[in-house]
Amino acid sequence: MLFADLFFMFAFLPLCFLFYFMFKSIKVKNCVLIIFSMIFYASGEPLKIFMFIFSIAINYYLGLWMDKARGTKICKFALWLALIYNIGMLGVFKYTDFMINNINGIFSTSIPLLKIALPLGISFYTFQILSYIIDVYWEKVPVQKSFHKLLLYISLFPQLVAGPIVRYQTIAEEIDDRKTTLNDAFEGFVRLIIGLSKKVLLANNLNVLVQNCFGENISQASITATWVGVIAYSMQVYFDFSGYSDMAIGIGRIFGFHFDENFRHPFMCRSISEFWQRWHISLGTFFRDYLLYIPIFGKRRAILSLFLVWFTTGLWHGASWNYVIWGLYFGVFIFIETKIGKKNLKKVPTVLMHIYNKLVILIGFGIFKFENMSNLGNFFKNLVGANSNELINNITKDAISSHIYIFIIALIACFPIATYLKKRFENSNPFSNSIAVVCVTVFAILLLMIDTTVLVKTFSSNNPFLYWNF
């Protein structure tokens, strides 16, 4: 079941809201959310839902065991059992065939691939479980003694399959005590509509432009098509993933949960370090808090911890070497900027900093897209014309001309215009004519976005969110 499905928007979600707000008891509301979350997950993974619940149960009892054995070696033993189990499950399902492929390639063996189906959202819910277990061990949060409350935290369907990675401490109190105010409902629905529009109106249409630019064989793409294609692809990934995050945050807000932001206009960054403070924030902070500052290699070898984080960041995204290269690629620039220092970077003219980081980011998205090393090599060659390709051809002209408006709109949407307008008017007199005009205009635009979204979804193919694959 996809967030951008008409069935989800006009059947599943309304029914969930109906049953949820029928009851006043928070216990009953939680049960409603658990039931609908199980239905949501089972619609995509009917059999693996049993493995999903079993994993939560294992971690529930390991958490209780750690809490009872606090201050003893058994507590640490329970932690290691949890780490081995969760990381092991992720490794088996996500990386088994990747390792077999590499073994076959290195030793010229012919071990058959197992082709294990990847459970829906395993990368995201595994990290949520790990954050809970580690925080319990570090005594940052009290152990959850109610199984159904821990089940609710892990299985909550808005963020279950593609994030953001919600920390237990973020919503621990709201599991037991929360209310949906009129402002929560309004902002939640607005956020939901914005996220849906990002996906359906921008990301899906940018995907068509990307396919037209790169074609079936990237080596034959023109220089202009390669550059326009990678720019469009970077925006596609942004609007696709941030759109899902917006929808998750919006739906959670309607239920009274306040998830942390996952994107803060990342393309407005002045450096690569700042880009990763704005992009997929929940993943970045996870690695920062649970891996970077843990002295695995000792304090004198902090550089190894830095590159371990970026190696892991890349590998988390997929079982392919291009993702590892992508992670280490950004790790190198983070390392360079760290050595230069923030004060020295501020002295560099802003224009030069933007040119530098946008080139690095765009090339990074090219690495992210092409899993095949041959295609990745041709991508790099195309950027500088090393494949002797044309600067531009008729195919490129047609692709750009037919998508020029969506391309421009997407570029504009990368800027924090809505954030600026909100700050500009939030302290104004709510009864002034200007505010009334703005409110009516925003309302009309939102209605138009809903109508357009429905029409587009009705007559277009179904495109799943990119990060559902991770």
The pTM for the full model equals: 0.90
pLDDT in the model for residue 13: 93
Angstrom distance (rounded) from CA 240 to CA 177: 32
Q: What is the pLDDT of residue 430?
A: 52
Distance CA 359, CA 344 (A): 20
Model pLDDT, residue 440: 53
CA distance 434 to 437: 5
Cβ neighbours of residue 411 under 8 Å, at least 6 residues apart?
A: 235
Q: From residue 421, give the alpha-carbon distance in Å to each of 190, 266, 425, 428.
A: 15, 18, 6, 11
Distance CA 208, CA 227 (A): 15
Closest CA to 159 of 259, 68, 81, 75: 259
Look at residue 306 in the predicted model and tell me its pLDDT. Answer: 86
Q: Which of 328, 277, 323 is nearest to 306 (CA)?
A: 328
Instruction: Report whether 203 contacts 239 (CB < 8 A).
Output: yes
Is the N-terminal amide bond of 266 cis, ω within 30° of 0?
no
- The confidence score (pLDDT) of residue 301 equals 66
Closest CA relative to residue 371, chosen from 251, 218, 248: 218
Long-range contacts of 50-56 (CB under 8 A, 24+ apart): 51/119, 52/119, 52/125, 52/155, 53/151, 55/85, 55/86, 55/89, 55/129, 56/129, 56/147, 56/150, 56/151, 56/154, 56/155
- Block means of pLDDT (10 residues each) for the chain, 470 residues, are 77 94 93 94 82 94 94 92 94 92 90 86 91 93 94 92 86 91 86 87 91 90 94 96 92 94 94 95 90 62 83 91 95 94 92 95 96 93 86 89 92 85 62 57 62 58 60
- Residue 293 has a pLDDT of 65
Are the C-beta atoms of 93 and 111 separated by less than 8 Å?
A: no
Amino acid (one-letter) located at 438: V
Give the C-alpha separation, 209 to 361, whole Å.
Answer: 19
Instruction: Look at residue 118 in the predicted model and tell me its pLDDT.
Output: 82
Give residues with Cβ within 8 angstroms of 166, minimum separation 6.
128, 153, 156, 159, 259, 260, 282
Q: What is the pLDDT of residue 196?
A: 86
Sketch the domain layout of the chain as residue ranges. 31-178, 183-469
Quickly count: other Cβ atoms within 10 Å of residue 416's Cβ: 14
Active-site residues, by number, are 317
